[in-house]
Amino acid sequence: MNTQNNIIRIFFATSILVVSTAKASEVDSFNDYKEFISNHGQSKTIALSDRFGSQWKQVSNYLGKDMMWLKTSDTSISALSQQSRSVKLVNFNDPVGASYSVNLDSCTQSATVAVKSQSMTTLATTFDSVVRVDFDGFCNDAGLISAWFSQDAGLIKWSEQTIAGVVDYELEYAKLAGMNYPAYEGIEVSANFPAETVMLNEVDSVEAYITLTNQTSEPVELTFNSGQLFDIYIYDRNDQLVQQWSKGRMFTQAFQTITLEPGQKKRFGDSIELKDLEGNQLDIGSYKLKIQVKTSTKASDQLFQLIPFEAEGQLNLDSMMSHY
């Protein structure tokens, strides 16, 4: 089964870089990893789900939508409207005040370029050449309010109206054009997840692996409180836990330490059944697959500190139609 390999996080230092490198051929290629977190602690991962031709890409969680078809160029991002027409979400060459008819849903009918060429700092890093687009529609308690786009990185933040009030989603982690954000030094974390839709009538489990690489010049100790080195979780679209790798397993309670020498790698992971906690097969649909190393770390010259080494990816489940 094909897997996708994402460099997720690099830890220890706390410096923030300003993105000012030459942009790729597209504003947002959707081939990289992007994770957003809301002001209420909810997370959404933007991931490529499907392609149509050489231009159109189906992406999950973009602007909070379950799925959206998008087309990108070096200066613009377009989407498919409710009527399956190509509409602009942003064009970096358009002036402030430029308006677009987007018709994404009844609550998001139009978009207007509100602010251009501003610098904006997210949880991931600081971006230059940012454009804010404001949305309008026919709903008072639902719909998009604003979105912030960087010409280097594409979507970096959006706000939406809900019955509970305004919810902001901000870019927290990303791998963009081969660079990791936040741009920390220390332990590099890469993860392997299923890259394609998994057919439930063909397989009954999927693999998830996470690799830690010591990028420092000093040994790094990984300390475990028990014999459990990692855990794997599956969450449904409502962020409810539906399966956990460690459920029903027994682990020794002895402490153990693994030392990563400079440049050394250590891989953790296993397969996890595509069943819920009661043993029933999962339904078709989209899930979140998460793997976490159950450790804390200390470098040889640092005090003991807790650092969560974890990664998340999207898991799409379907069932192959039988043909007779």
Sequential DSSP letters for 94-147: SPTT-EEEEEEETTEEEEEEEEEEEEEE-SS-EEEEEEEEEEE-S-SSSEEEEE
pLDDT value of residue 155: 93
* pTM to 2 decimal places: 0.57
Asked whether residue 28 is assigned to any structural domain, the reply reads: yes
Q: Using the 3D structure, point to which of 140, 162, 180 is the last residue of a domain.
A: 180
CATH (domain of 228): 2.60.40.2360
Say whether both 22 and 135 belong to one domain: yes
Based on the structure, what is the number of domains in the chain?
2
Say whether both 51 and 163 belong to one domain: yes
Share of the chain above pLDDT 70, in %: 82
Q: Which of 52-66, 95-109, 154-168 has the lowest mean pLDDT?
A: 52-66
Asked whether residue 11 is assigned to any structural domain, the reply reads: no
Angle at 280 between CA 276 and CA 281, to 5 degrees: 85
Say whether both 160 and 228 belong to one domain: no
Asked whether residue 74 is assigned to any structural domain, the reply reads: yes
Asked whether residue 57 is assigned to any structural domain, the reply reads: yes
Instruction: Please tell me what DSSP assigns to residue 183.
Output: -
Asked if the model's pLDDT at residue 299 lies above 50, the reply is: no
Asked if the model's pLDDT at residue 153 lies above 90, the reply is: no
Residue 8 binned pLDDT confidence (cut-offs 50, 70, 90): very low
Structure tokens at 100: 């677009």
Structural domain range at position 93: 17-180
